Each structure stands twice: as C-alpha cells, then as structure tokens.
Amino acid sequence: MPINTALTRQHFDTRWKSLRRPYQPVVSRQWRSWLMDRGSLTQRLIKRSNGDFRVELVRQGWARPTRSEAKALNMSTRQVALVREVQLIGKGQPWVFARSIIPAPTLTGPQRQLKVLGTQSLGSLLFTDPTMRRGHFQICRLSLDNHKKVWARRSVFFLSNKPLLVSEVFLPQLLQVN
Ligand SMILES: C=C(O[C@@H]1C=C(C(=O)O)C=C[C@H]1O)C(=O)O
C-alpha cells in the first residue's frame, strides 16, 4: 500500500517560482542541492539508498490537469492527460512524491511505453532517450496535511519535442537518512 503523503492535485495548482535568483537564497543549502540537480533523481536515490529503492505507483489515469499544469504544458484544462503519481521509496521510507502530466499527443511512437511504466522509474526512460531535453526548474513551498512544509520542483521534459510535466515533492524523510 502506498505510504500516505496526503498530497492532492490541489497542492500542485499553486504559484511556482523560477529557481533563478533571487529565490535561491530562500532555499537552505541542503535542499538547494536536491532542487537544482538536473540529473536523474532515480539514480541519485538508488545510490543514497544503497540499492534499497523502489517506485510505488500511487495512481495513474486520464484526468484534466490543474490550471497551473495546463499552462506549463500550453494545453487546455478541458483536455485530459495521462496523470501518473508515484512515491519514490528509499530504505522503506517515502523520499519523493512525484506527479507527472503526459498529454495524449506525447504518448505516440516510442513514447507509447510511458503508458505502461508501472513501477519502472519514469527517469529510466527520460535519461536514456537521446532526444530528451529539459526545461528550467520552478519551485514552490507546499504544506502537507500535518502542516509540515516541504519543497517541490517541476520542469517540462521534451522527448522527440513532445512535452510532459514532472513535479517532484521532496519529503522530510529524505534528509533523515541514517
Ligand atoms: C524524472 C525522473 O523520474 C522519477 C520517477 C518518476 C516516476 O517513476 O513516475 C517521476 C519523477 C521522478 O522523480 C528522475 O528519475 O529524475
């Protein structure tokens, strides 16, 4: 069963800020390292967990994006997209909650396999695709149900020039690794 992180679509319909200055100083040094890393988060978490890592599928289905997500993807909120929500579990703890929005036109050709990822990491496809490009990061501060505040980031990936939006919420357990 997914470990409940109580994140809903409303959390992602918020004001995202560019990670460029002056926002960087607001972010503590230890979180800045995670928010700004443009490499594969999956690979970094596999190393941090000494291989004790898995992707837990929370939900996947066709749904309308939030206004903020639709704007980032230049699509209408009246259109549906494939929405994938997962938790990245390291050493048995939820370290990241990720929500990806994949427009239907992106799920063509080789990208059809994005529909059947299951518990395979999205990153394993993104970072092995020679056509992959990644846009700038935006960040925001989210409040979990227990009033804990966490950092989130998002960026638009392009595979063969087709977009998908990936949002990642960094959970407190990520920094509590012993
Ligand atoms: C983009 C990556 O893929 C990770 C895995 C995801 C998934 O399986 O849905 C979603 C976002 C990322 O946290 C990455 O590894 O950098």
* ipTM for this model: 0.97
Atom nearest to 117 CA in ligand 1: 8
Mean pLDDT check: name the lowest of 27-36, 51-60, 81-90.
27-36
* SS3 call for 71: helix
What is the rounded CA–CA span in Å between residue 11 and residue 39?
Answer: 25
pLDDT, one tens digit per residue, over 132-173 is 999 999 999 999 877 789 999 999 999 999 999 999 999 999
**86 CA to centre of ligand 1 in angstroms:** 8
Model pTM above 0.80: yes
| Domain covering 9-173 in this structure, CATH number | 3.40.1410.10
With a 6 Å cutoff on the Cβ, whether 40 touches ligand 1 is yes
Q: Which of 146, 154, 155 is nearest to 173 (CA)?
A: 146
What is the rounded CA–CA span in Å between residue 54 and residue 87?
Answer: 8
With a 6 Å cutoff on the Cβ, whether 55 touches ligand 1 is yes
Q: Per-residue pLDDT averaged across 7-31, rounded? A: 82
**55 CA to centre of ligand 1 in angstroms:** 9
Q: Map 39-58 to HEC letters.
A: CCHHHHHHHHCCCCEEEEEE
What is the rounded CA–CA span in Å between residue 110 and residue 26?
Answer: 40
